[in-house]
């Protein structure tokens, strides 16, 4: 997971925000996540997602995923149907050796994103129970209606350093244009995606 601060103009032009959400964009730190799910209801898969900051809805502020790639079609269908998450397919190459992880994404043979991370420091226990509810609630505005999902998770985290990032901005926001705030690697992490709701 990588936290960034992006200029507002960059997000509005390059954050892949749906037209129906542009006027609701509030701002704040953005988040990029690269996830290697070893187990899920649709089997193992990899994921790259972008949340540009928070959005206003009925006087409150929530995060929203505006761009996301996953490695299996089952994850695409499940994410779109149950949580209105706009998942797309990509091929992932994921390799970890010692403390360094290299991740490459491609479509139809074209590599559009590459990342390298190095973990460092001690491992700490973390839980979503310490995060305010609105901060861990996803607001995904679908074609028919909005869906809200309050995420839950528990696990361990180590600090990380982003060694390399190369991105084609036609496929994913070029995060190198933002100011990096912090990076971390979760391990032994259990994430719960409850059933989404059409109301808060």
- pLDDT (tens digit per residue) in 72-123: 999 999 999 999 999 999 999 999 999 999 999 999 999 999 999 999 989 9
- pLDDT (tens digit per residue) in 166-189: 999 999 999 999 999 999 998 888
pLDDT computed for residue 7 by the predictor: 92
Is 80 exceeded by the pLDDT of residue 144? no
pLDDT computed for residue 68 by the predictor: 98
Domains and CATH numbers, the chain: 2-192 (2.40.400.10)
pLDDT computed for residue 194 by the predictor: 86
Mean pLDDT for the chain? 93
Residue that has been written with the tokens 């797309």 in this structure:
88
What is the rounded average pLDDT of the residues 35-40? 92
pLDDT confidence tier of residue 141, bands split at 50, 70 and 90: confident
What is the rounded average pLDDT of the residues 139-150? 84
Is 90 exceeded by the pLDDT of residue 145? no
pLDDT confidence tier of residue 131, bands split at 50, 70 and 90: confident
pLDDT computed for residue 36 by the predictor: 94
pLDDT confidence tier of residue 146, bands split at 50, 70 and 90: confident
Query: What SS3 class is residue 138?
Result: strand
Indicate the pairing of strand 45-51 with strand 67-70.
antiparallel
pLDDT computed for residue 80 by the predictor: 93
């Amino acid at each position: 997971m990588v936290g960034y601060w992006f200029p507002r103009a960059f997000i509005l032009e390059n954050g892949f925000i749906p037209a129906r959400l542009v006027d609701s964009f509030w701002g704040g730190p953005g988040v990029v996540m690269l996830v290697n799910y070893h187990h899920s209801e649709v089997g193992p898969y990899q994921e790259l997602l972008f949340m540009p900051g928070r959005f206003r809805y009925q006087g409150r502020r929530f995060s929203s995923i505006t761009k996301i790639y996953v490695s299996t079609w089952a994850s695409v269908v499940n994410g779109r149907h149950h949580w209105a998450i706009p998942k797309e397919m990509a091929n992932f190459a994921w390799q970890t050796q010692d403390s360094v992880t290299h991740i490459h994404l491609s479509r139809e043979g074209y590599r559009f994103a590459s990342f390298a991370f190095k973990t460092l420091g001690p491992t700490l226990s973390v839980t979503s129970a310490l995060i305010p509810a609105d901060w861990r609630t996803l607001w995904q505005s679908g074609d028919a209606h909005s869906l809200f999902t309050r995420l839950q998770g528990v696990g361990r985290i180590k600090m990380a350093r982003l060694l390399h990032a190369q991105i084609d901005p036609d496929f994913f926001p070029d995060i190198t244009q933002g100011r990096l705030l912090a990076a971390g690697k979760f391990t032994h992490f259990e994430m719960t995606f409850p059933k989404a709701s059409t109301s808060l």
